[in-house]
Amino acid sequence: MTLPFIPSGATKSLSASGTSASVALTGPGRSASVRIVNAGPNTAFIRFTATTPTAVTTDMPILPGTVEIFDMPESAAYLGAICASGKTATLYATTGQGV
C-alpha cells in the first residue's frame, strides 16, 4: 500500500540560477521523502548530498511548474540546484514520509 505524502519538516526555498546554490534539509531523517516544487519559469537541475553540494547542469532536471517526490538517500542532508546560464527558478523542498 502506498501512503500519501505526509509533511514533517519545514519547507525550505532555494533560488537556483547559473551558479550552484544549496539548502540544508530538515525532516524525519531515515527513510524520508522530499517533495520538490519548481515554481520558477525554467528547468532546475538538482542533487542530494551529505555535505554542501555543487550542482551541475547534468544533474537530475526538474521541469518548471512541476512537483516531484523523491526518496532521499539516507545520508542526504542538503539539496543543491542550478539552472542553465542566464536562467532562474525557485524551488520549494518539504521533507516527510510517503509519496
Q: C-alpha cell of 80?
A: 543543491
Q: What are phi and psi of 68, to 5 degrees?
A: -130, 145
Q: C-alpha cell of 87?
A: 536562467
CATH number for region 13-94 = 2.60.120
- pLDDT tens figures, 32-89: 899 999 999 999 999 999 899 999 999 999 999 999 999 888 888 899 999 999 999 9
* 47 residue type, one letter: R
**What is this structure's pTM?**
0.91
- As a whole number of angstroms, the distance between CA 97 and CA 47 comes to 19
pLDDT at 21: 97
Show me where the domains of the chain are located: 13-94
